[in-house]
Structure 1
Amino acid sequence: MTGFSFNAPQSTSSEIISNDPFFPDVALEDVRQKVRFDGSVTNQRLTDSITAAMLEINHQLRTLKTKASSLNDLATGQIGGKANTQILYERAIHSAVAADINEKYRAYDSTGEGQKRG
């Protein structure tokens, strides 16, 4: 061992992506922490992935807009001070982003042996 330490490049931001007024906005840093992405995933790449996830999930939930003025108006309860609808929406965004980025970054889902073969 030579004592070298390698750290991923830092690429964090407090940027918030504005959403359709019916749905909650999404913060880059929140997604980065919840999905456990380090700085090797750039803000631009993360923003593109979040935007795509928002477009897809908002499209899938579009019929809810006829039932209320915001997603939180449809909540049936709260956990930790957050509406259950917001928690589920954020979880859907995080899952879609994780799937999108992990699909393109071999290092996130491969073992050492798998990376050698790749």
Structure 2
Amino acid sequence: MFSGQDFNQSVIIINNDGFWPDLNLSEFQIDRAMSPNINDRLLRDAIVSAVVEINLTLEQYKNKQVANGITSAENCGVISVEGVSSTVIIYKKAVFARAKADLIGEFVSIASRDDKIGESQKEMRATLLAESTREIRKLLGLRRCGVALI
């Protein structure tokens, strides 16, 4: 979105727990096309919230990896791209999608003043949360959807 302002990427690093990767705020801004009008503290807080939520969801996965002698997500995964483990790539996608879903009200209110924004805002948020959930399911070795016998 063009705002007439210079886009300065943030140099804030969110330190993770040692197993999961540290996250770079500028990577989030670029990967998720975040508006430069949203302040860094709000972006940082959304990422921190997403990290805490996703780390809790993946706690058993992490504990299993650590029990098997794997001390970092960087050493997990079936493939790597430019030296980055698929596990790290998938984790970041999950976190960034969840963080953007949390920020969608801010993002949309800056981008548009349309009265119908509420419905598209809900759809976009649901899409981002679904993406995050799909990425988490990948890490857990689950398919996109599951069926359980009740």
- TM-score normalised over the length of structure 1: 0.79
**1:69-118 CA-partner distances (Å, limit 9, x unpaired):** 11122211112331100100010011011111013443367674535xxx
Name the aligned partner's letter for residue 79 of structure 1.
Answer: V
Paired positions, count: 111
Name the aligned partner's letter for residue 93 of structure 2.
Answer: R
Match of 2:124 in 1: none
Structure 2 portions without partners, runs of 5+: 118-150
Q: Does residue 61 in structure 1 map to residue 58 in structure 2?
A: yes
1:66-105 alignment runs, 5 A limit: 66=63, 67=65, 68-105=70-107
Q: Is the 8 A contact 2:34 2:107 kept in 1?
A: no
Q: Is the 8 A contact 2:79 2:85 kept in 1?
A: yes
- Supply the distance in 1 between the matched residues of 2:35 and 2:92 (Cα, whole angstroms): 19
- Supply the distance in 2 between the matched residues of 1:18 and 1:7 (Cα, whole angstroms): 32
Match of 2:142 in 1: none
Structure 1 portions without partners, runs of 5+: none
Q: Is the 8 A contact 1:17 1:25 kept in 2?
A: yes
Match of 1:28 in 2: 25
Identity of aligned residues (%): 24
Name the aligned partner's letter for residue 24 of structure 2.
Answer: A
**1:16-40 CA-partner distances (Å, limit 9, x unpaired):** 1100001000000000011101221
**1:54-82 CA-partner distances (Å, limit 9, x unpaired):** 00111111112222311122211112331
State the SS of the aligned residue for 1:49.
Answer: helix
Match of 1:7 in 2: 4
Pairwise CA RMSD: 2.4
TM-aligned CA deviation for residue 6 of structure 1: 4.5
Name the aligned partner's letter for residue 25 of structure 1.
Answer: D
- Supply the distance in 1 between the matched residues of 2:6 and 2:116 (Cα, whole angstroms): 23
Q: Does residue 17 in structure 1 map to residue 19 in structure 2?
A: no
- Shift in alpha-carbon separation, 1:6–1:79, aligned structure 2, 3 A: closer
